A and B are shown apart, each in its own frame.
Chain A
Amino acid sequence: MAEETAFDPKKFKEAVEEKTNARLKMWLEICAHCGLCADTCHFYLANDKDPKMIPAVKGKRVLEAFKKKDKIDEEFLEDFYWTVYGDCTMCRRCTMFCPFGIDIATITSTGRGLCVSQGKVPENLVKTIESYYKHGNQMEVSEEDWIDTLQWMEEELQEELPGATIPIDKKGANLLYTVNAREPKFYPMDISQAAMVFYLAGEDWTMSSKGWDDTNLAMFAGDLKAASYISQLVRDAAEELEVKRVAITE
Chain B
Amino acid sequence: MSLYELLRGPLLWLAFGVFIGGMIVRVVLFFQLSTKKDKPIYRFFSWKWLWLSIFHWIVPLNETAKKNPITTAVGFIFHFCLLVTPLFLLAHGVLWYESWEISWWSLPETVADYMTLITIGCGIFLALRRILLPYVRVVTTTADYVLLGVTLAPFVTGYLAYHQYFDYYTVLILHMFFGELMLVVIPFTKLSHFIMFFFSRAVTGMEFGRRRAPSW
Contacts and interface: CB of A to CB of B under 8 A. Distances in A.
A170 interface: no
Contacts of B64: 36, 97-99
A23 B196 contact: no
A26 B199 contact: yes
Contact of A36 (B34, B68, B196): B68
A60 B139 contact: yes
B51 to A, nearest CB: 14
Nearest to A21: B37
24 contacts: A20-B33, A21-B37, A26-B30, A29-B189, A30-B190, A31-B139, A33-B140, A33-B190, A35-B133, A38-B136, A39-B135, A51-B134, A51-B135, A51-B137, A52-B138, A54-B138, A56-B139, A96-B208, A96-B213, A99-B60, A101-B53, A101-B203, A101-B208, A102-B200
B2 interface: no
Given A54-B139, A60-B139, A99-B75, 11 more contacts: A20-B37, A22-B34, A22-B38, A23-B34, A29-B192, A33-B130, A33-B141, A35-B129, A35-B138, A49-B134, A103-B204
B205 interface: yes
A165 B213 CA distance: 37
B201 interface: yes
A68 to B, nearest CB: 16
B201 A100 contact: yes
B107 interface: no
Interface of A: 20-23, 25-27, 29-36, 38-39, 44, 49, 51-52, 54, 56-57, 60, 95-103
B170 to A, nearest CB: 33
A38 B68 CA distance: 11
B71 A31 contact: no
Give chain B's interface residue range (CB within 8 Å of chain A).
35 or more
B37 A22 contact: yes
B11 to A, nearest CB: 26
Contacts of A56: 139
Q: Which 6 A-B pairs have the closest CB atoms?
A: A101-B204, A22-B34, A35-B136, A51-B138, A21-B37, A38-B135
B135 A35 contact: yes
Nearest to A97: B64
A219 to B, nearest CB: 14
Interface in B62-118: 62-64, 67-68, 71, 75
Contacts of A57: 138-139
Interface of B: 29-31, 33-34, 37-38, 41, 53, 57, 60, 62-64, 67-68, 71, 75, 129-130, 133-141, 144, 189-190, 192-193, 196-197, 199-201, 203-205, 207-208, 213, 215-216
A97 B30 contact: no
Question: A26, A97, A103 — which one has the most chain B CB atoms within 10 A of its CB?
Answer: A26
A30 B33 contact: no
Contact of B200 (A27, A35, A39): A27
A30 B140 contact: no
A25 B63 CA distance: 26
Nearest to B143: A33
B52 to A, nearest CB: 12
Nearest to B203: A23
A101 B205 contact: yes
Task: Select the residue from B30, B31, B129, B138 with max chain A CB neighbours within 10 A.
Answer: B138
B133 to A, nearest CB: 6
Contacts of B134: 49, 51
A96 B133 contact: no
A54 B140 CA distance: 12
B76 to A, nearest CB: 10
Contact of A54 (B30, B33, B135, B215): B135
A100 B193 contact: yes
